[in-house]
Amino acid sequence: MLKLERGQKLVVATHNAGKLREFKTLLEPFGLELVSAGELDLPEPEETGLTYEENAKIKALAATTASGLWALSDDSGLSVDGLDGDPGIYSARWAGPDKNFDDAMVKVHTSLMEKGAMAPGQRTAAFVAVLCLANPAGETVCFEGRAEGTLVWPPRGNQGFGYDPMFQPKGHMRTFGEMSEAEKHSWSKDKIGLSHRSRAFSEFVKDCCPDD
């Protein structure tokens, strides 16, 4: 089992500013020294895997190899039931090159409309995140988290990132885009969080983080 020590320097192996922000908040209580792949100017590896886990490993191993530090990566996406799980592992690039998430959300919505999926029950989806911790010896360990919800239209809220404004988590009336980061995570050591990332993070904490 891979275990981090208090004060240890850890690369957050992402080039996504939204994820980086979330990881900084989540990791804060554990007394680690954080540096991001962007700050170290690490190359962005090609995500050639066919699963979240494969891509998370690719990113964590690339970062630990390039930096000599332990690395924590995240591969995540939105799996829409009515679209057979798309955009899934391709969520970041599904709308095409030079497209932003406003375009990507329109594409998800229009694809569902083309299938006649108008009622909330036909617009269910899940966010999935797989975190991977890698050490410089090339050992890895992965943790998965899921958040179930419904896709609303039009998108609501301007917090979070990516597809957050159209994702309303199960049991809630507001989208992730309408929630503060703290609400989106709803993370604490003794209760299950709300977001896919915080749910995967709980498992990672249990096994790999120093006790605080």
Ligand X SMILES: O=c1nc[nH]c2c1ncn2[C@H]1C[C@H](O)[C@@H](COP(=O)(O)OP(=O)(O)OP(=O)(O)O)O1
16 annotated binding-site participant: yes
Q: Which does 174 bind (CB under 5 to 8 A by kind): ligand X, Mg ion, none?
A: none
188 annotated binding-site participant: no
Residue 148 touches ligand X, criterion: CB under 6 A: no
For the chain, where are the E strands, in sequence order? 9-12, 33-36, 70-80, 124-134, 140-151, 167-169
In what order do the strands lie in the sheet containing 124-134?
33-36, 9-12, 70-80, 124-134, 140-151, 167-169
74 carries an active-site annotation: no
Out of 127, 143, 201, 204, the residue judged to bind ligand X by CB under 6 A: 127
Q: Which does 181 bind (CB under 5 to 8 A by kind): ligand X, Mg ion, none?
A: none
Residue 80: strand pairing partners: 125
- One-character DSSP codes across 28-81: GGGT-EEEETTTTT--------SSHHHHHHHHHHHHHHHHSSEEEEEEEEEEEG
9 annotated binding-site participant: no
Nearest approach, Cβ of residue 18 and Mg ion (Å): 12
Query: 14 with 71: CB under 8 angstroms?
Result: no
Q: Compute the 3-state secondary structure of the chain and give helix, strand, coil in percent, each to the nearest 5.
A: 35, 25, 40
Q: Which does 164 bind (CB under 5 to 8 A by kind): ligand X, Mg ion, none?
A: ligand X
The active-site residue out of 41, 74, 75, 190 is 75
Q: Which does 91 bind (CB under 5 to 8 A by kind): ligand X, Mg ion, none?
A: ligand X
Residues at the annotated binding site for Mg(2+)?
Answer: 46, 75
List interacting residues with ligand X (CB under 6 A).
14-16, 19, 47, 59, 74-78, 91-92, 127, 160-164, 176, 195, 197
Residues at the annotated binding site?
Answer: 14-19, 46, 75-76, 161-164, 184, 196-197
List interacting residues with Mg ion (CB under 5 A).
92
